Chains A and B, each alone.
Chain A
């Protein structure tokens, strides 16, 4: 069973989310739903995966919200009715797993994103890839990574993206994971030197011992 939490200022979404995701092979259960991040973090029982509305009514910054949740050990999926490419970029930099558009997302997509996150994979929705592919202030992405974003971000399946770019499906997935890591790297403050090696380790890069 996969447990999820929802943070949305609209009661409607807090109510229906659990019912939407109820069916499927592995049950997805909504265990916590609040209107603000502070309320969520104050709960005694929280789910690791959080579906977070981008624009909460309390006026909080969504980047701060994402960072607070990640700092508390959560994985964040952003769910929003409206987002500029720059918002999606900022959310990715803050470390959000992926971004879902409220108007275009169906239950199946939301459920599959949740399952992938729970399985330790690195999902990216079409809307997410499209926004990143159109982002002017992107971090240094390789040509292949740009091509992955452009092709996958037009709705093309993972398999067809791989075939068109002449790479394997797992390479496409790896590119997607690295793209998100690059964004997160830029957004992640490196407070002291010790952080550096740890961040790299988080990225599955080679463990580096900072020089004394």
Chain B
């Protein structure tokens, strides 16, 4: 908003200096060389100052007081040069004086700015009284009245614009604060939902299984389930992340859950997945699985998929993402972008990825770590 005001004022100032050029030209051609040089010098000095004034105003506080002083000086010089014989039309400083007055009321502070802004107006009315002989009082008065009107109007318009801009800024700040609070609340809610989901997937299920008689209470299976659930509950109490980044089963379960929420039914086929796998491997496998499932959603044209995760004797793991959808012809289809990035992810952590597909036979992506 401020830069727009300054630019408007600069455009106005250019017009204020351009308008009197014909007047100056006619005066220079009729006056003596000395007078002509003095008039032209005053004009060029004032115009040059204005250029500098606006150039520097873009970088620091506009030097409006100096602006007023310069135009006052030029007003006096012009009057002295023209002497007793001048007439009102010859006073080219009218426009620039209005411009300087505006700059003063817009960029100076307190009541003093009105006093400073009044200086060129007063000079415009008083100097002719001192130096000239034949006076056009009515012309002078209308000139002064016009100046006052212009300057007051500019002050009012800019005041309104600045108030509007301030309101918009305040509204924007309030809005972004509200958005930030909303996001924080949502994150807290998501975290709680995630914890509750974790409870549902672990402790609650185990208890239900025992209650339903599906699991013999005194079995190795139930003991290992209980141990895992206890770890989970402890991690909640300690405020650590629910999906410990080394637990591939938990991370993959989350991936499957997310995909299911997005409309793809994913059947987990997990067996003997190692309890702890290096975090970077867990991340690579989970991202690769996500990507493969995304691809099922995008290209396979089916609503279900199978994810097999099997631990291997060497402590490694094999994950397969399989769909029964459209598939593609591996001969005519160049390797898809997703496969390149999946392969890259797996190779970065010392694993490998393979894809198998044929038109109409679905697609299967197999991730193996270590390779």
Q: Which residues of A contact B (CB under 8 A)?
A: 55, 59, 81-82, 84-85, 101, 104, 106, 126-127, 130, 134, 153-157, 159-160, 163-164
B362 A160 Cβ-Cβ under 8 A: yes
Does B221 reach chain A (CB closer than 8 Å)?
A: yes
Q: Name the contact of B308 in the complex, choosing from A59, A106, A130 (C-beta under 8 A).
A: A130
A160 B306 Cβ-Cβ under 8 A: no
Separation in Å of the B20 CB from the closest CB of chain A? 87
Contacts of A153 in B (CB 8 A): 269, 308
A127 B361 Cβ-Cβ under 8 A: no
Separation in Å of the A147 CB from the closest CB of chain B? 14
Task: Tell me, in angstroms, the Cα distance from A127 to B362 when the chains sit together.
Answer: 18
Task: Tell me, in angstroms, the Cα distance from A82 to B222 when the chains sit together.
Answer: 14
Q: 1/0 contact trace for B328-371 toward A, CB 8 Å?
A: 00000000000000000000000000001010111010000000
Q: Name the contact of B271 in the complex, choosing from A85, A155, A163 (C-beta under 8 A).
A: A85
Contacts of A127 in B (CB 8 A): 267, 269
Does B320 reach chain A (CB closer than 8 Å)?
A: yes
Separation in Å of the B299 CB from the closest CB of chain A? 16
A155 B214 Cβ-Cβ under 8 A: no
B267 A160 Cβ-Cβ under 8 A: no
Across the A-B interface, how many residue pairs have beta carbons closer than 8 Å? 64
- With A154-B364, A156-B322 as contacts: A84 and B221 at CB distance below 8 Å: yes
Task: Tell me, in angstroms, the Cα distance from A55 to B208 when the chains sit together.
Answer: 13
- With A154-B306, A155-B305 as contacts: A130 and B269 at CB distance below 8 Å: yes
The size bracket of the interface on B is: 20 to 34
Task: Tell me, in angstroms, the Cα distance from A127 to B308 when the chains sit together.
Answer: 11
Chain A to chain B: the 5 pairs with minimum beta-carbon distance, closest first? A155-B306, A155-B322, A160-B361, A154-B308, A82-B214
Task: Tell me, in angstroms, the Cα distance from A17 to B217 when the chains sit together.
Answer: 31
Contacts of A101 in B (CB 8 A): 267
Does B194 reach chain A (CB closer than 8 Å)?
A: no
A155 B269 Cβ-Cβ under 8 A: yes
Task: Tell me, in angstroms, the Cα distance from A118 to B53 when the chains sit together.
Answer: 96
Does B323 reach chain A (CB closer than 8 Å)?
A: yes
Task: Tell me, in angstroms, the Cα distance from A163 to B305 when the chains sit together.
Answer: 20
Task: Tell me, in angstroms, the Cα distance from A130 to B323 when the chains sit together.
Answer: 15
Task: Tell me, in angstroms, the Cα distance from A16 to B256 when the chains sit together.
Answer: 27
Separation in Å of the B27 CB from the closest CB of chain A? 96
- With A55-B212, A154-B306, A155-B323 as contacts: A160 and B269 at CB distance below 8 Å: no
Does B310 reach chain A (CB closer than 8 Å)?
A: yes
Contacts of A130 in B (CB 8 A): 269, 271, 308
A104 B267 Cβ-Cβ under 8 A: yes
Separation in Å of the B325 CB from the closest CB of chain A? 10
